[in-house]
Amino acid sequence: MLPKLPLDRWVEAFVDWMTDHLSGLFDWLSAVIEGIVSGFSFLFHLPPPLLFIVIAAAIAFFLGRWPIAAFTAIGFYLIYNMGLWAEMMDTLALVVSSAFISIVLGIPLGIACSRSKAVAGAVTPLLDFMQTMPAFVYLIPAVMFFGLGVVPGVIASVIFAIPPTIRLTHLGIRQVPAELTEAADAFGSTSGQRLFKVELPLAWPTVMAGVNQTIMLSLSMVVIASMIGAEGVGASVYRAVTQLKIGQGFEAGLAVVIVAIVLDRLTQRMMKTKRKRRD
């Protein structure tokens, strides 16, 4: 029998090396992410809860139809009523931040994949790895690199949630009919013009489906993120579960579900209206 491959020690050595040598980079990253999260957090905490509910319902109404608006208003009021308002705003900031980072990184990466087979070949297995590796495994190194708090939570959410955006951007662009890209070329488009005038608009619904999935996945990470110190509804769930407070756990869980449904419906509407407006 072959001796055991010392993969574990290699990884540990690698993580140690990163902690020692890349701390500057991590500090910088940490500051950036912290900035993004606190920006969103500030924004969400700014309006009083009732005003926030009205604004959210109004957005839902303009994007969609009144059932979504009604659900948003009632759901958010319920969260307020359950006394989970501040926690929900923290969670929202966490989710929106990781979705934001995922989109900013993921869409260009998806485009790069569609442009080059080599990039796609390198990125695809990495995405498989990110989606299937249990989150706890990279949670610990994330804490070592970034310390406890919201930042490693965002990092873990991004790692878990970014793949659909990349994959579906890639897919969406690849699915643009060849004769349309050919037509764009035949009229003398630069590759940038082809991307922005033909490929992205046509791929847009698919890209947005990826963004929608990304938001849902980062929401599903809030409980795990709370284990390493991220504040929010996730933390309430975690606390309630560890203290066997079934009722409180259910309330916090319900808050997550409400936020999930609202975000899901809103982003779904967004891909439809975006398409109409472009027409």
Partner 1 sequence: MREATKLFGPASDKAVKLLEAGWTKERLAKEKQIVVGVNRVSLEIEEGEIFVIMGLSGSGKSTLVRMLNRLIEPTSGDIRIRGKSIVGMDAHELRELRRKTISMVFQKFALLPHRTVRANVEFGLEIQGIPKSKRREQAERALRLVGLEGWADKMPDELSGGMQQRVGLARALANDPDILLMDEAFSALDPLIRRNMQDELLELQMKMKKTIVFITHDLDEALRIGDKIALMRDGAVVQVGTPEEIMIHPANEYVERFVEDVDLSKVLTAEHVMRRPETIAPDRGPRVALQLMRERGISNLFVVDRGQKLLGVISADDAAEAIAANKSVGDIAVTDVPRVRPDTLLHELFEICGTSKLPVAVVNDTDRLMGVIVRGAVLGALAGQIPRTEVKPGVAEAPA
Between 8 and 179, whose beta carbon lies closer to partner 1? 179
Between 189 and 268, whose beta carbon lies closer to partner 1? 189
Between 115 and 245, whose beta carbon lies closer to partner 1? 115
Shortest CB 201 distance to partner 1, Å:
5
Torsional class of 231: left (φ above 0), alpha (ψ -120 to 50), beta (otherwise): beta
Between 35 and 197, whose beta carbon lies closer to partner 1? 197
Backbone φ and ψ for 160, nearest 5 degrees, come out as -75, -30
Shortest CB 194 distance to partner 1, Å:
9
Cα–Cα distance for residue pair 120/48, rounded to 1 Å: 46
Of 176, 54, 29, the residue nearest 110 (C-alpha): 176
Residues 6+ apart with CB under 8 A from 55: 47
- Chain residues that interact with partner 1, rule: CB under 8 A: 177, 179-180, 182-190, 193, 197-198, 201-202, 275, 278-279
Of 159, 165, 185, the residue nearest 112 (C-alpha): 165
Terminus-to-terminus CA distance in the chain, angstroms? 65
Shortest CB 170 distance to partner 1, Å:
19
Shortest CB 113 distance to partner 1, Å:
22
Between 201 and 229, whose beta carbon lies closer to partner 1? 201
Shortest CB 180 distance to partner 1, Å:
5
Beta carbons of 263 and 216 less than 8 angstroms apart: yes
Cα–Cα distance for residue pair 218/96, rounded to 1 Å: 9
The alpha carbon of 99 is separated from its chain's Cα centroid by a whole number of angstroms, namely 3
Question: Which tokens is 253 given?
Answer: 């869980």
Cα–Cα distance for residue pair 53/77, rounded to 1 Å: 7
Per-residue CA distances from 243 to 24, 225, 237, 247, 256 (Å) = 39, 18, 10, 11, 19
Shortest CB 202 distance to partner 1, Å:
6
Shortest CB 197 distance to partner 1, Å:
7
Between 94 and 207, whose beta carbon lies closer to partner 1? 207
